[in-house]
């Protein structure tokens, strides 16, 4: 396995055929490594032929679930404790925190991964990058964002989870060309700059993390449209997770996220575990490549998206992943209609006067009961803003809407995670 990754090795602009050949070779190496070094896969793959696997034959191997990761956590470690350089945590489906371990090579791979993504978005060496996300609390993504900036040869401004005023002062004085952050926070920052007459035109690129900024048709969501209003043409969506150690970042075409050519094999699966044709929606399933600390084979992320089949105008031969449409665990069934929370969230993001919101879901396996909790600006009420009518107009479902205090709503949304949490699952099965 490789121990050091250089940007000059990025093969993303190779042809589709060359990218597939490269991935097939690295996939065979990764599965061999799993068989010999990972206790979990030594057992899981024991009954399958010990041969070279490529993309086509990969479907013959079993998938790995988040439940597997939760129940057999340490069995996934493929190095001794002396080989571990970093440990982070993610919540498993059982609610038990799962450890994700990285070797020094994995951390360099992570830096390479994010640097490739930044470069795809158009960042250049020598530019400044304002990081509005934390690097502490075992948050591996925060570390990756920082290391990617360094690997690219740009300058990181690690202002972290700070106030709007603090970020505005950084923009006013240091004039960064790039910002990395959660879209809902960046929209608040853009509004703050506008309200206070602070020039933010230095910002050319927003690398948006944690929330989708585009919809199924690859058009901006209301939140993405807000960002485009403050910084036209700057929004670049991303997708990643701690487990897959790989990110999908939009290029200059801003129409789907590219993974680096040599870091991941991606499948989209239906509920039965079968591949769906490109363009059809299913569960994002990833086999990360060149991982040494905690390699995974066919990891089912729980996220729902699709592969865009057409070649990208940017010229890359790597696939494009569409926006995350929702999480399988958050799929709603309401009076015969199936939909994801984003159907409601996109409406709320587009209503002026709504400053914060979240959803509570109760019910049984047969039907879900939804309550939308909304905080409004300047003493307005959800009724004043026509929230319920606008939600029905988009979803054709009548749901209760209740007013909540803005401060309490912010604490609820931002008080339990590093990213905003707007979906609270209180269902009983």
Structural domain range at position 137: 1-326
Under 8 Å between Cβ of 338 and 331: yes
Asked whether residue 80 falls in the same domain as residue 219, the answer is: yes
Q: How many CB atoms lie within 10 A of CB 81?
A: 7
Q: For 63-99, write each residue's pLDDT tens digit.
A: 999 999 999 999 999 999 999 999 998 754 445 678 9
Bridge pairing between strands 128-131 and 97-102: unpaired
Q: Closest Cα to residue 299, out of 273, 261, 329, 330?
A: 273
Of 277, 306, 326, which residue is a domain's last? 326
pLDDT of residue 331: 83
Is the model's pLDDT at 19 over the cut of 50?
Answer: yes
Asked whether residue 239 falls in the same domain as residue 381, the answer is: no
Q: Closest Cα to residue 413, out of 339, 353, 359?
A: 359
Is the model's pLDDT at 419 over the cut of 80?
Answer: no
Asked whether residue 32 falls in the same domain as residue 130, the answer is: yes
Of 326, 341, 358, which residue is a domain's last? 326
pLDDT of residue 94: 41
Is the model's pLDDT at 37 over the cut of 80?
Answer: yes
Asked whether residue 297 falls in the same domain as residue 345, the answer is: no
Asked whether residue 248 falls in the same domain as residue 385, the answer is: no
pTM, two decimals, is: 0.87
Of 326, 343, 362, which residue is a domain's last? 326
Asked whether residue 319 falls in the same domain as residue 341, the answer is: no
CATH of residue 219's domain is 3.40.50.12780
Q: What percent of the chain has pLDDT over 70?
A: 97
Structure tokens at 29: 């190496």
Q: What mean pLDDT is predicted for residues 303-313?
A: 96
pLDDT of residue 101: 95
Asked whether residue 262 falls in the same domain as residue 393, the answer is: no
pLDDT of residue 371: 95
Under 8 Å between Cβ of 287 and 27: yes
pLDDT of residue 2: 74
Asked whether residue 314 falls in the same domain as residue 335, the answer is: no
Asked whether residue 154 falls in the same domain as residue 130, the answer is: yes
Asked whether residue 337 falls in the same domain as residue 352, the answer is: yes
Q: What mean pLDDT is predicted for residues 260-274?
A: 97
Q: Could you tell me which residue, 367 or 62, shows the higher pLDDT? A: 62
Asked whether residue 217 falls in the same domain as residue 183, the answer is: yes
CATH of residue 367's domain is 3.30.300.30
pLDDT of residue 417: 66
Least confident of 17-21, 26-30, 391-395: 391-395
H, E, C per residue of 4-71: CCCHHHCCCCCCHHHHHHHHHHHHHHHHHHHHHHCHHHHHHCCCCCCCCCCHHHHCCCCCECHHHHHH
pLDDT of residue 366: 66
Q: For 38-72, write each residue's pLDDT tens digit.
A: 999 999 999 999 999 999 999 999 999 999 999 99
Bridge pairing between strands 423-425 and 155-158: unpaired
Bridge pairing between strands 155-158 and 264-269: unpaired
pLDDT of residue 416: 63
Those residues whose C-beta lies under 8 Å from the C-beta of residue 43, and which sit 6 or more positions away, are 75
Structure tokens at 337: 């209609």
d(C-alpha 205, C-alpha 248), whole Å: 16
Least confident of 192-201, 208-217, 284-293: 208-217
For residues 32-67, one letter each, b for 16 or more C-beta atoms within 10 angstroms of the residue's C-beta and e for the rest, the string is: ebbbebbebbeebbeeeeeeebeeeebeebebbbbe
Q: For 319-336, write each residue's pLDDT tens digit.
A: 999 999 998 888 888 877
Asked whether residue 228 falls in the same domain as residue 336, the answer is: no
How many structural domains does the chain have?
2
Q: What mean pLDDT is predicted for residues 398-415?
A: 91
Task: Compute the mean pLDDT over every residue in the chain, rounded to the nearest whole number.
Answer: 93
d(C-alpha 61, C-alpha 127), whole Å: 44
């Amino acid at each position: 396995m490789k121990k050091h990754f250089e940007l000059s090795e990025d093969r993303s602009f190779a042809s589709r055929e060359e990218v597939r050949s490269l991935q097939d070779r690295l996939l065979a190496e990764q599965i061999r490594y799993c068989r010999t070094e990972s206790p979990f896969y030594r057992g899981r793959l024991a009954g399958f032929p010990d041969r070279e696997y490529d993309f086509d034959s990969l479907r013959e191997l079993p998938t790995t679930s988040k439940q597997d990761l939760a129940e057999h956590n340490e069995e996934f470690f493929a190095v001794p404790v002396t080989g571990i350089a970093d440990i982070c945590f993610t919540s498993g489906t059982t609610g038990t925190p799962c450890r994700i371990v990285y070797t020094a090579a994995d951390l360099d791979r992570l830096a390479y991964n994010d640097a490739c993504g930044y470069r795809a978005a158009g960042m250049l060496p020598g530019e400044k990058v304002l990081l509005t996300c934390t690097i502490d609390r075992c948050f591996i993504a925060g570390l990756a964002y920082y290391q990617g900036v360094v690997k690219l040869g740009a300058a990181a401004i690690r202002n972290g989870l700070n106030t709007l005023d603090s970020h505005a002062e950084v923009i006013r004085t240091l004039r960064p060309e790039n910002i990395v952050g959660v879209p809902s926070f960046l929209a608040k920052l853009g509004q703050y700059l506008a309200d206070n007459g602070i020039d933010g035109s230095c910002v050319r690129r927003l690398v948006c993390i944690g929330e989708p900024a585009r919809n199924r048709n690859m058009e901006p969501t209301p939140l993405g449209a807000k960002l485009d209003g403050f910084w036209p043409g700057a929004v670049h969506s991303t997708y990643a997770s701690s487990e897959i150690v790989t990110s999908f970042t939009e290029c200059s075409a801003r129409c789907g996220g590219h993974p680096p050519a040599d870091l991941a094999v991606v499948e989209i699966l239906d509920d039965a575990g079968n591949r769906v044709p490109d363009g059809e929606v299913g569960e994002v399933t990833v086999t990360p490549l060149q991982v040494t600390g905690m390699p995974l084979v066919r990891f089912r992320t729980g996220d729902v998206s699709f592969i865009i089949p057409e070649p990208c105008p940017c010229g890359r031969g790597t696939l494009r992943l569409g926006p995350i449409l929702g999480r399988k665990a958050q799929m709603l069934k309401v009076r015969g209609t199936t939909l994801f929370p984003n159907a409601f969230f996109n409406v709320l993001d587009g209503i002026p006067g709504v400053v914060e919101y979240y959803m509570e879901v109760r019910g049984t396996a047969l039907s879900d009961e939804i309550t939308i909790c909304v905080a409004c600006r300047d003493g307005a009420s959800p009724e004043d803003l026509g929230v319920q009518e606008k939600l029905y107009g988009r979803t054709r479902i009548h749901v209760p809407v209740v007013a909540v205090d803005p401060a309490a709503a912010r604490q609820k949304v931002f008080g339990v995670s590093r990213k905003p949490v707007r979906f609270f699952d209180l269902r009983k099965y």
